[in-house]
Amino acid sequence: GENVEQHPSTLSVQEGDSAVIKCTYSDSASNYFPWYKQELGKRPQLIIDIRSNVGEKKDQRIAVTLNKTAKHFSLHITETQPEDSAVYFCAASMADSWGKLQFGAGTQVVVTP
Amino acid sequence: DTEVTQTPKHLVMGMTNKKSLKCEQHMGHRAMYWYKQKAKKPPELMFVYSYEKLSINESVPSRFSPECPNSSLLNLHLHALQPEDSALYLCASSQRGSGNEQFFGPGTRLTVL
Protein backbone atom coordinates (compact mmCIF):
# COMPACT_ATOMS: atom_id res chain seq x y z
CA GLY A 1 0.00 0.00 0.00
CA GLU A 2 0.86 3.68 -0.10
CA ASN A 3 3.40 5.04 2.39
CA VAL A 4 3.86 8.76 3.02
CA GLU A 5 6.85 10.18 4.86
CA GLN A 6 6.83 13.75 6.17
CA HIS A 7 9.69 15.98 7.36
CA PRO A 8 10.49 17.72 9.58
CA SER A 9 8.47 16.56 12.57
CA THR A 10 8.80 19.98 14.22
CA LEU A 11 9.54 23.37 12.70
CA SER A 12 10.16 26.62 14.56
CA VAL A 13 10.16 29.83 12.53
CA GLN A 14 10.29 33.53 13.28
CA GLU A 15 7.21 35.50 12.33
CA GLY A 16 7.60 36.76 8.78
CA ASP A 17 9.94 33.97 7.71
CA SER A 18 9.04 31.12 5.35
CA ALA A 19 8.27 27.53 6.32
CA VAL A 20 8.72 24.47 4.13
CA ILE A 21 7.40 20.97 4.83
CA LYS A 22 8.32 18.04 2.60
CA CYS A 23 6.57 14.75 1.92
CA THR A 24 7.47 11.72 -0.15
CA TYR A 25 5.11 8.99 -1.31
CA SER A 26 5.76 5.47 -2.48
CA ASP A 27 3.00 4.57 -4.95
CA SER A 28 3.25 6.19 -8.38
CA ALA A 29 -0.50 5.60 -8.80
CA SER A 30 -1.24 8.31 -6.21
CA ASN A 31 -2.79 11.31 -7.93
CA TYR A 32 -4.30 13.55 -5.24
CA PHE A 33 -2.27 15.29 -2.55
CA PRO A 34 -4.08 17.39 0.08
CA TRP A 35 -2.56 19.31 2.98
CA TYR A 36 -4.48 19.62 6.25
CA LYS A 37 -3.92 22.02 9.13
CA GLN A 38 -5.00 20.96 12.61
CA GLU A 39 -4.94 23.45 15.46
CA LEU A 40 -4.88 22.15 19.01
CA GLY A 41 -8.24 20.64 19.92
CA LYS A 42 -9.73 21.36 16.50
CA ARG A 43 -10.64 19.37 13.45
CA PRO A 44 -8.26 18.94 10.48
CA GLN A 45 -9.01 21.50 7.78
CA LEU A 46 -7.89 21.42 4.17
CA ILE A 47 -5.60 24.33 3.33
CA ILE A 48 -4.55 23.40 -0.19
CA ASP A 49 -4.47 20.38 -2.48
CA ILE A 50 -2.87 19.44 -5.76
CA ARG A 51 -3.55 16.84 -8.39
CA SER A 52 -0.96 14.92 -10.35
CA ASN A 53 -1.59 16.79 -13.59
CA VAL A 54 -0.38 20.04 -11.98
CA GLY A 55 3.15 20.89 -10.82
CA GLU A 56 2.42 23.85 -8.59
CA LYS A 57 -0.54 25.58 -6.97
CA LYS A 58 -0.67 28.77 -4.97
CA ASP A 59 -3.25 30.34 -2.68
CA GLN A 60 -2.15 33.65 -1.14
CA ARG A 61 0.69 32.83 1.30
CA ILE A 62 0.47 29.08 0.74
CA ALA A 63 1.86 27.08 -2.17
CA VAL A 64 2.31 23.41 -2.94
CA THR A 65 4.72 21.88 -5.43
CA LEU A 66 4.65 18.35 -6.80
CA ASN A 67 7.46 16.39 -8.42
CA LYS A 68 5.92 13.20 -9.81
CA THR A 69 9.22 11.81 -11.03
CA ALA A 70 10.80 12.04 -7.60
CA LYS A 71 7.48 11.27 -5.86
CA HIS A 72 7.63 14.17 -3.50
CA PHE A 73 5.54 17.24 -2.76
CA SER A 74 6.11 20.23 -0.53
CA LEU A 75 4.13 22.88 1.31
CA HIS A 76 5.48 26.42 1.36
CA ILE A 77 4.15 29.06 3.74
CA THR A 78 5.49 32.59 3.24
CA GLU A 79 5.34 35.55 5.64
CA THR A 80 4.41 33.27 8.53
CA GLN A 81 2.12 34.60 11.25
CA PRO A 82 1.46 33.31 14.80
CA GLU A 83 -1.91 31.93 13.63
CA ASP A 84 -0.03 29.59 11.30
CA SER A 85 1.09 27.67 14.40
CA ALA A 86 -0.51 24.21 14.14
CA VAL A 87 0.15 20.63 13.08
CA TYR A 88 0.25 20.18 9.32
CA PHE A 89 -0.45 16.82 7.67
CA CYS A 90 0.27 15.88 4.09
CA ALA A 91 -1.65 13.03 2.49
CA ALA A 92 -1.81 11.03 -0.71
CA SER A 93 -4.67 9.25 -2.41
CA MET A 94 -5.05 7.05 -5.45
CA ALA A 95 -7.83 7.06 -8.00
CA ASP A 96 -10.38 4.31 -7.41
CA SER A 97 -9.38 4.03 -3.76
CA TRP A 98 -12.74 5.10 -2.35
CA GLY A 99 -11.11 8.30 -1.18
CA LYS A 100 -8.66 6.56 1.13
CA LEU A 101 -6.09 9.10 2.34
CA GLN A 102 -2.68 7.97 3.55
CA PHE A 103 -1.44 10.66 5.93
CA GLY A 104 2.10 11.65 6.77
CA ALA A 105 3.12 11.72 10.43
CA GLY A 106 2.60 15.46 10.75
CA THR A 107 4.73 18.56 11.31
CA GLN A 108 4.30 20.75 14.40
CA VAL A 109 4.89 24.32 13.24
CA VAL A 110 5.56 26.99 15.85
CA VAL A 111 5.72 30.62 14.73
CA THR A 112 7.32 32.87 17.31
CA PRO A 113 6.59 36.62 17.29
CA ASP B 1 -25.03 23.92 5.62
CA THR B 2 -21.32 23.36 4.99
CA GLU B 3 -20.37 21.53 8.13
CA VAL B 4 -20.02 18.00 9.39
CA THR B 5 -21.45 17.64 12.88
CA GLN B 6 -20.71 14.95 15.45
CA THR B 7 -22.32 13.98 18.74
CA PRO B 8 -21.43 13.62 21.51
CA LYS B 9 -18.36 15.85 21.90
CA HIS B 10 -17.07 13.78 24.79
CA LEU B 11 -17.87 10.23 25.85
CA VAL B 12 -16.66 8.21 28.83
CA MET B 13 -17.59 4.55 28.87
CA GLY B 14 -16.73 1.37 30.69
CA MET B 15 -15.49 -1.73 28.93
CA THR B 16 -18.90 -3.41 29.20
CA ASN B 17 -20.94 -0.48 27.90
CA LYS B 18 -22.60 -0.08 24.52
CA LYS B 19 -22.63 3.40 23.03
CA SER B 20 -22.94 5.04 19.63
CA LEU B 21 -21.24 7.95 17.93
CA LYS B 22 -23.23 9.99 15.42
CA CYS B 23 -22.19 12.02 12.42
CA GLU B 24 -24.32 14.14 10.11
CA GLN B 25 -23.76 16.19 6.97
CA HIS B 26 -26.16 18.06 4.70
CA MET B 27 -23.79 18.92 1.86
CA GLY B 28 -25.07 16.18 -0.43
CA HIS B 29 -21.83 14.26 -0.05
CA ARG B 30 -21.99 10.59 -1.00
CA ALA B 31 -18.80 9.38 0.70
CA MET B 32 -18.44 9.30 4.48
CA TYR B 33 -15.53 8.20 6.64
CA TRP B 34 -14.63 7.24 10.17
CA TYR B 35 -11.12 7.99 11.43
CA LYS B 36 -9.40 7.34 14.75
CA GLN B 37 -6.81 9.84 15.93
CA LYS B 38 -4.44 9.37 18.85
CA ALA B 39 -2.63 12.30 20.41
CA LYS B 40 0.15 13.74 18.22
CA LYS B 41 -0.62 11.23 15.44
CA PRO B 42 -2.32 11.57 12.06
CA PRO B 43 -5.91 10.41 11.52
CA GLU B 44 -6.10 6.68 10.86
CA LEU B 45 -8.81 5.49 8.49
CA MET B 46 -11.27 2.97 9.90
CA PHE B 47 -14.21 2.78 7.49
CA VAL B 48 -15.40 4.30 4.21
CA TYR B 49 -19.00 4.39 3.04
CA SER B 50 -19.71 5.24 -0.57
CA TYR B 51 -23.35 5.74 -1.60
CA GLU B 52 -24.40 4.23 1.75
CA LYS B 53 -22.45 1.03 1.13
CA LEU B 54 -19.42 -0.03 3.14
CA SER B 55 -16.49 0.22 0.73
CA ILE B 56 -13.48 -0.03 3.05
CA ASN B 57 -13.01 -1.69 6.42
CA GLU B 58 -9.40 -1.25 7.46
CA SER B 59 -9.33 -4.49 9.47
CA VAL B 60 -11.04 -2.78 12.38
CA PRO B 61 -11.95 -5.00 15.38
CA SER B 62 -15.58 -6.09 15.46
CA ARG B 63 -16.17 -4.15 18.67
CA PHE B 64 -16.52 -1.17 16.30
CA SER B 65 -19.60 -1.48 14.08
CA PRO B 66 -20.38 1.21 11.49
CA GLU B 67 -23.80 1.98 10.10
CA CYS B 68 -24.97 4.35 7.38
CA PRO B 69 -28.78 4.68 7.67
CA ASN B 70 -29.00 7.23 4.85
CA SER B 71 -26.84 9.54 2.77
CA SER B 72 -26.66 12.19 5.53
CA LEU B 73 -26.00 10.05 8.59
CA LEU B 74 -23.18 7.86 9.77
CA ASN B 75 -23.06 6.00 13.06
CA LEU B 76 -20.33 4.11 14.86
CA HIS B 77 -21.59 1.58 17.39
CA LEU B 78 -19.19 0.72 20.21
CA HIS B 79 -19.28 -2.41 22.36
CA ALA B 80 -16.81 -4.03 24.74
CA LEU B 81 -14.09 -1.49 24.04
CA GLN B 82 -10.62 -1.57 25.53
CA PRO B 83 -8.76 1.29 27.22
CA GLU B 84 -6.43 1.49 24.20
CA ASP B 85 -9.46 2.48 22.11
CA SER B 86 -9.49 5.84 23.87
CA ALA B 87 -8.91 8.44 21.14
CA LEU B 88 -10.52 11.21 19.11
CA TYR B 89 -12.97 9.76 16.60
CA LEU B 90 -13.37 11.90 13.53
CA CYS B 91 -16.05 11.68 10.90
CA ALA B 92 -15.51 13.14 7.43
CA SER B 93 -17.42 13.43 4.20
CA SER B 94 -16.65 14.21 0.56
CA GLN B 95 -18.62 14.66 -2.65
CA ARG B 96 -17.57 11.26 -3.84
CA GLY B 97 -14.48 9.23 -3.12
CA SER B 98 -11.06 9.75 -4.56
CA GLY B 99 -9.74 13.17 -5.43
CA ASN B 100 -12.26 15.16 -3.46
CA GLU B 101 -11.77 17.33 -0.40
CA GLN B 102 -12.74 15.59 2.81
CA PHE B 103 -14.55 17.78 5.31
CA PHE B 104 -13.95 16.72 8.89
CA GLY B 105 -16.29 16.96 11.83
CA PRO B 106 -15.08 18.24 15.22
CA GLY B 107 -14.70 14.72 16.57
CA THR B 108 -15.82 12.78 19.62
CA ARG B 109 -13.25 12.49 22.42
CA LEU B 110 -13.71 8.92 23.72
CA THR B 111 -12.32 7.67 27.00
CA VAL B 112 -12.65 3.98 27.87
CA LEU B 113 -12.20 3.17 31.55
pLDDT mean over B76-98: 94
Instruction: Compute the distance between CA of residue B16 and CA of residue A97 in angstroms, rounded to an integer.
Output: 35
Region A50-66: mean pLDDT is: 95
Q: How far does Cα B112 stand from its chain's mean position?
A: 16
The least confident of A37-51, A90-104, B20-34 is A90-104
Range A52-58 average pLDDT: 93
* Chain A hits for B50, Cβ within 8 Å: 98-99
Averaged pLDDT for residues B11-39: 95
Task: Answer yes or no: is pLDDT of B1 > 70.
Answer: no
The predicted pLDDT at position A98 comes to 83
Mean pLDDT of chain A, nearest integer? 96
Instruction: Point out the residue among A42, A94, A106 whose CB comes nearest to the CB of B42.
Output: A106
All residues of chain B having their beta carbon less than 8 Å from the beta carbon of residue A105 are 41-42
Question: C-alpha distances in angstroms, B38 versus A95, A103, A104, B42, B106?
Answer: 27, 13, 14, 7, 14
Proportion of chain A above pLDDT 90, given as a percent: 90
Rounded-to-integer distance, Cα B86 and Cα B110, Å: 5
Reported confidence tier of residue B2, pLDDT bands at 50, 70, 90: confident
**pLDDT tens-digit profile of B91-110?**
999 998 777 899 999 999 99
pLDDT for position A75: 98
- Is some CB atom of chain B closer than 8 A to the CB atom of A7? no
So what's the pLDDT on residue B98?
A: 76
Residue A23, pLDDT score: 98
